[in-house]
């Protein structure tokens, strides 16, 4: 990914060094072959390596600028027939490169309109060989035509990606790999791009995706177009297809709201959404996207899916799940992670924001939650032995019961003024950027103007109950 530079808002933010996110320019014996995993490079040019949890996530040699997905879905056969055009810029000379696509049968690939050779490798690699070598710095397009029956990915949290619903429809959302189950993608959080979706479905059906609905055409079938013009990480994409009831409204702030309900889905959470968005915006600043809303399913999902601008919520979701999905629009989408080991950072803060929201509406006081949870955890080595900064593959979402306690302990250490300043400030200064634990630690230490090494060693990197001075 080409490094996106911006002027940061304060001198403290200049300390956000961490990893520069870009693909390696020489990762194989033939340096015109793009890597089959996204390679992270330090600011001094040192190759740090691929994501240790998912080393084949993403690819090297190019930076995507836009995905244009056009698909037709047949709910009787559960098959899609699709064409995705990927617009990108090369970051090196390329004789060969990969996209990520799980399952599905590819029948044609063209680079800049010229047919290209292609093959499949590993779990999800679509290997593309253009007719001629692409020079570095070239804008190019890749058109992939494919069809098949999309399937979900099994994760420790349950199924994610493309799934069929009990009402006969289909939807795709969740982490870590929802996008590659339905379109070819550079599936790394480090490469955000705009997303345009055109979905053709049977008459009486409709489709909802990220962003703004730009057109609807009805007849013997229905074709709906959606445009997400704020660059989006692949893990924050979503689509839902069903006999959806779509309801449009506007928040008091003027932000448009698009809610979509599957047959039999409750409308109760949608009624609560304006108040939740307003409460989070009071804490974190204006809603970071030009539209909001949600997709509400009749299926039980086990967790909320905070897709960018439009979360996907199941029949088992409550208002706290809604609040988490909205908090994650700032802590999770606007501010995205670098590596998957950084996921507990954004998850812990999103969960703490739910605690704050619940307290403000008359729920359990935050400090009482903290004290009760600390007593429950005691000195249990199974609880404290999990490392927030490196929870291990499959545990990226499983340590926030410890992480949310860390957040409150940090608040107690910094005091409310500085804590709430950094809670709002970190997503603001990293608008649409990727950051990790290292960056957060540097930022908070700079804003607090104190050494927080002991605190973070105990809470974020430690494996035992933190010392009393940090509790």
User: Which residue, 265, 372, 374, 366, is CA-closest to 317?
Assistant: 265
C-alpha span between 445 and 106 (Å, rounded): 50
Instruction: Judge whether residue 471 has pLDDT over 70.
Output: yes
Between residues 79 and 46, the one the model is more confident about = 79
**171 to 165, 229, 254, 312, 471: CA distances (angstroms):** 7, 21, 28, 9, 42
The rounded radius of gyration (Å) of the Cα atoms in the chain is: 22
- Cβ(305)–Cβ(173) under 8 Å? yes
Instruction: Judge whether residue 48 has pLDDT over 80.
Output: no
Instruction: Judge whether residue 236 has pLDDT over 60.
Output: yes
- Cβ(7)–Cβ(430) under 8 Å? no
Instruction: Render pLDDT for 340-397 as a digit per residue (tens, 0 to 9).
Output: 999 999 999 999 999 999 999 999 999 999 999 999 999 999 999 999 999 999 999 9
Average pLDDT over residues 206-231: 97
Instruction: Judge whether residue 15 has pLDDT over 80.
Output: no
Instruction: Judge whether residue 20 has pLDDT over 60.
Output: no
Contacts of residue 354, Cβ cutoff 8 Å, sequence gap at least 6: 320, 323, 324, 327
Instruction: Render pLDDT for 410-430 as a digit per residue (tens, 0 to 9).
Output: 999 999 999 999 999 999 999
**4 to 124, 361, 404: CA distances (angstroms):** 27, 40, 31
Question: What does the pLDDT read at residue 29?
Answer: 58
Average pLDDT over residues 1-26: 38
The tokens describing 34, both together, are 């793009």
Question: What does the pLDDT read at residue 47?
Answer: 72
Instruction: Judge whether residue 18 has pLDDT over 60.
Output: no
Q: What pLDDT band is residue 110 in, cutting at 50, 70 and 90?
A: very high
Question: What does the pLDDT read at residue 43?
Answer: 60
Q: What pLDDT band is residue 156 in, cutting at 50, 70 and 90?
A: confident
Average pLDDT over residues 103-130: 97
Instruction: Render pLDDT for 423-456 as a digit per residue (tens, 0 to 9).
Output: 999 999 999 999 999 999 999 999 999 999 999 9
Between residues 12 and 226, the one the model is more confident about = 226
Instruction: Judge whether residue 1 has pLDDT over 90.
Output: no
State what percent of residues in the chain have pLDDT above 70: 93
The 3-state secondary structure of 220-234 reads: CEEEEEEEEEEEECH
- Cβ(98)–Cβ(126) under 8 Å? yes
Instruction: Render pLDDT for 297-332 as a digit per residue (tens, 0 to 9).
Output: 999 999 999 999 999 999 999 999 999 999 999 999
Average pLDDT over residues 83-112: 97
Question: What does the pLDDT read at residue 244?
Answer: 98
Question: What does the pLDDT read at residue 308?
Answer: 98
Instruction: Render pLDDT for 174-202 as a digit per residue (tens, 0 to 9).
Output: 999 999 999 999 999 999 999 999 999 99
Question: What does the pLDDT read at residue 127?
Answer: 98
Average pLDDT over residues 151-157: 90
Residue position matching structure tokens 């809670």: 423
Angle, CA of 407, 410 and 414, to the nearest 5°: 140
Instruction: Judge whether residue 10 has pLDDT over 80.
Output: no
Element holding 64 (H helix, E strand):
strand 62-74
C-alpha span between 461 and 437 (Å, rounded): 10
Instruction: Render pLDDT for 263-277 as a digit per residue (tens, 0 to 9).
Output: 999 999 999 999 999
DSSP-based three-state secondary structure for 197: strand
pTM of the model: 0.92
Sign of the Cα torsion 464, 468, 469, 470 reads positive
Which structural domains are found in the chain, ordered by start? 19-243 (2.60.40.1730), 338-470 (1.10.390.10)
Average pLDDT over residues 39-64: 84
- Altogether, the residues listed in the chain come to a count of 471
Average pLDDT over residues 50-55: 92
The tokens describing 293, both together, are 């809303």
């Amino acid at each position: 990914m080409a490094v996106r530079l911006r002027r940061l808002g304060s001198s403290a933010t200049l300390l956000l060094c961490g990893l520069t996110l870009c693909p390696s320019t020489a990762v194989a014996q033939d340096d015109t072959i793009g890597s089959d995993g996204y390679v992270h490079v330090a600011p001094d040019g040192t190759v740090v390596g691929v994501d240790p949890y998912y080393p084949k996530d993403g690819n090297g040699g190019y930076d995507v600028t836009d995905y244009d997905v056009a698909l037709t879905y047949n709910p009787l056969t559960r098959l899609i027939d699709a064409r995705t055009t990927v617009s990108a810029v090369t970051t090196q000379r390329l004789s060969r490169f990969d996209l990520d696509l799980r399952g599905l049968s590819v029948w044609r690939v063209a680079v800049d309109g010229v047919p290209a050779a292609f093959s499949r490798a590993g779990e999800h690699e679509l290997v593309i060989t253009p007719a001629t070598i692409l020079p570095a710095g070239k804008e190019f397009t890749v058109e992939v035509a494919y069809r098949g029956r999309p399937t979900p990915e099994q994760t420790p949290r349950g199924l994610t990606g493309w799934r069929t619903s009990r009402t006969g429809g289909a939807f795709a959302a969740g982490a870590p790999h929802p996008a590659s189950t339905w379109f070819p993608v550079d599936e790394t959080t480090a490469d955000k791009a705009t997303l345009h979706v055109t979905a053709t479905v049977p008459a009486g059906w409709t489709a909802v995706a990220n962003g703004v609905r730009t057109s609807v055409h009805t007849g013997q079938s229905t074709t709906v177009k959606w445009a997400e013009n704020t660059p989006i990480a692949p893990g924050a994409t979503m689509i839902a297809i069903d006999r959806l009831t779509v309801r449009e409204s506007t928040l008091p702030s003027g932000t448009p709201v698009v809610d979509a309900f599957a047959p039999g889905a409750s409308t109760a959470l949608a009624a609560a959404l304006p108040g939740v968005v307003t409460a989070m915006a009071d804490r974190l600043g204006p809603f970071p996207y030009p539209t909001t809303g949600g997709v509400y399913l009749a299926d039980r999902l086990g967790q909320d899916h905070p897709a960018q601008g439009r979360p996907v919520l199941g029949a088992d979701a409550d208002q706290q799940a809604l609040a988490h999905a909205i908090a994650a629009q700032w802590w999770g989408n606007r501010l995205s992670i670098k590596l998957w080991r950084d996921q507990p950072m954004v998850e812990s803060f999103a969960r703490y924001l739910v605690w704050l929201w619940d307290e403000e509406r008359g729920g359990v006081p935050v400090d009482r939650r903290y004290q009760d949870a600390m007593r429950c955890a005691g000195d249990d080595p199974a609880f404290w032995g999990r490392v927030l900064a490196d929870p291990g593959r499959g545990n990226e979402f499983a340590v926030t019961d410890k992480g949310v306690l860390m957040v409150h302990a940090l608040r107690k250490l910094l005091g409310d003024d500085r804590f709430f300043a950094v809670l709002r400030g970190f997503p603001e200064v990293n608008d649409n950027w990727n950051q990790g634990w290292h960056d957060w630690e540097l930022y908070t230490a700079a804003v607090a103007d104190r050494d927080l090494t002991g605190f973070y060693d105990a809470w974020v990197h430690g494996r035992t109950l933190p010392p009393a001075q940090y509790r």
